Structure 1
């Protein structure tokens, strides 16, 4: 449906976006990125490139009296060969901080990925439009959270009343880095990833650098975090290093130190929380690499390493948790704003018994909510690492 004469079109600029570190102009519009251009130029991994361009935690934020909103988008939808199709990504509409609508968009590009060979094939598709109607006829703050699993080029923002950028809400900014679990791999919508849930409960602004398959202690990610203004920082380390079999203990320890050192160059006194992996039985004591497993007729993951190789320095989640705890304890002697959280406090053995990982790797939506609520309680509660400063 073509827009009628009473629609106003507002250019989509960085001023209207939160949660993105860069905005690339494309043939169709603009593409939000969660890594800056300098970091992207240093990356050679297609998985990182795909993950950082998926806008987990990225949202359009503006003030308007509009009762109708249209957003033209060109989505890139991921299809995993051999796995059932995933539902279309959701766009969550918040009005004055409350969920007021959800929408999906048809069409768009498709990227078909073969997880056994690592190859991918792209097919073109058309621009689509999402619509929200019957909104309250008053001045209001509007947020449109973009789908966390779909690369999303923003083509046009149309409303039936003028739009203006929203100033600082006075909230602290929380910068988080992690794996697909932080990215929101199996979350039902962008406001239902566990970091989004925790941020809402903690009353903070989220910048989510959760990159599916790509929390690998990359120096370019550490530099991006160093250079990003933030009041609170967390890094979740473990699962991708094990299931990618990316390094052994000899390389892991100095890599963690280097990653934290780089962050501290830009944030010397910012509360910094190091979080180890949640429980993942297949990789607790078995090294990687991890692999896709279709033997049951649905997508599952398995660990393919030999537990005997731990003696030669191969990483498991048990090994990583012990080393992270040791590293943080040693550094905390000189860094009073550094903290550690064992990820099994967020999701452990009792949780696995009640809410098992459907594919042996990723939490389901109910477990995501539990993780977000527990993180908020641990991090944002009174006298906790991210507790709000006392009001004098």
Structure 2
């Protein structure tokens, strides 16, 4: 017998982790950057990344045993590359992963890796159905796919739902690259920031933006204006693999980014995290490029195309960036006791790479995301860490 469905309008009050909710002709589109920030940059990579709802979830209290969600995903196709799996929706009950699903149908975005040209083809919406949930009052979260732009159309349950009240959990805002975004994680609640947030008992807003952690001023202003009890910034890899700036510009840009955040959060614990170990860019500048030989063999890999000799001319590598970030934080920490530094190699270093190498030379796999998340939780939220609840 079909349940007696109750349709609940999807509003900002039911969403966590989104900073804007755009009403379109084909559903509600969660954004991780506000409209004013999106208007300041027309980069297609940024537009794609911020509209992919990493860390965004529907969250509500209900006694329902069945939940349906109508969603319209955008599936990406890269001709010549291995096919991408459909995005995963994680359903958590009282913080525990209980079920997973994938949406059928959806729009298709075909991207030419050689030219960057993209073709969009509309498709039908899909329905996700979760049944057999515990028959009691509980908190239900539906984590949207971290790597798939998703429009939301309808939420149905077999019992009423209520928005979650303010439960006093600390708000953690994190900014980083595609690794923080969740590239190659198994599912949205198992990206490393999501894993760390669940272990740390905090409410995550993930501003990990694939290919777009570039010290953009509008991102700093977004963080400045976003409520936060804890802030972390993972800086470096995108500045190398885009070859965006030279050493002369890097340290002042970091200072400016931190200055802007401190305008809105003068005493909030702020953790600056340097890059994890990545052999192709440790001592070789960018830009990064697709390995065409690997593509012809049906594999996705990246390579560094810069010349190590050009470090003397200010070209950035991960080694250079780690040294500069450590120096900037030491300099500022004398007058900012709530500013902290974490070497990314403590999250994933050479020994980890020997055991769990980066499959495409840039991004961690699913097991490594869990390892990084657990280490971050121990180092940041654990006893003595900068985000520990008992820290003065």
Fold similarity call, TM over 0.5: yes
- For this pair of structures, how many residues does the alignment match? 389
Distance 1:57 1:157 in 2: 19
SS in 2 for 1:251: helix
String of CA shifts for 1:203-247, please: whole Å, max 9, x gaps: 111100000000000001000000000000000000000000000
- For residues 159-238 of structure 1, the aligned pairs below 5 Å read 159-238=157-236
Tell me how far 1:5 sits from its aligned partner: 8.0
Distance 2:239 2:116 in 1: 18
Distance 2:137 2:114 in 1: 51
Partner of 1:336: 337
Q: CA RMSD in A?
A: 1.3
Tell me how far 1:269 sits from its aligned partner: 0.1
Partner of 1:386: 387
Partner of 2:42: 44
- For residues 316-327 of structure 1, the aligned pairs below 5 Å read 316-327=317-328
The answer to whether the Cα contact below 8 Å between 1:74 and 1:127 also exists between their aligned partners in 2 is yes
Tell me how far 1:390 sits from its aligned partner: 6.4
Distance 1:318 1:116 in 2: 29
Cα 1:390–1:283 change in 2 (3 A) is closer
Equivalent of 1:277, from 265, 275, 278?
Answer: 275
Partner of 1:313: 314
The answer to whether the Cα contact below 8 Å between 1:177 and 1:234 also exists between their aligned partners in 2 is yes
Distance 2:199 2:227 in 1: 21
Partner of 1:114: 112
In the alignment, is residue 266 of structure 1 matched against residue 267 of structure 2? no
Tell me how far 1:64 sits from its aligned partner: 1.0
String of CA shifts for 1:112-163, please: whole Å, max 9, x gaps: 1222212211111101000001111211110000000100000000111111
Equivalent of 2:287, from 269, 284, 289?
Answer: 289
Equivalent of 2:255, from 254, 257, 279?
Answer: 257
TM-score by length of 1: 0.97
Distance 1:93 1:294 in 2: 38
The answer to whether the Cα contact below 8 Å between 2:3 and 2:158 also exists between their aligned partners in 1 is no
Cα 1:146–1:247 change in 2 (3 A) is same
Distance 1:116 1:49 in 2: 19
The answer to whether the Cα contact below 8 Å between 2:384 and 2:391 also exists between their aligned partners in 1 is no
Partner of 2:31: 33
Structure 1 runs not aligned, ≥5 long: none
Distance 2:235 2:256 in 1: 13
The answer to whether the Cα contact below 8 Å between 1:82 and 1:294 also exists between their aligned partners in 2 is no
String of CA shifts for 1:13-44, please: whole Å, max 9, x gaps: 00000000010001122110000111011112
SS in 2 for 1:118: coil
In the alignment, is residue 304 of structure 1 matched against residue 305 of structure 2? yes
Distance 1:160 1:381 in 2: 40
Structure 2 runs not aligned, ≥5 long: none
String of CA shifts for 1:30-86, please: whole Å, max 9, x gaps: 110000111011112110010000000000001111111100000001122321111
Q: Which runs of 4+ in 1 moved over 6 A?
A: none
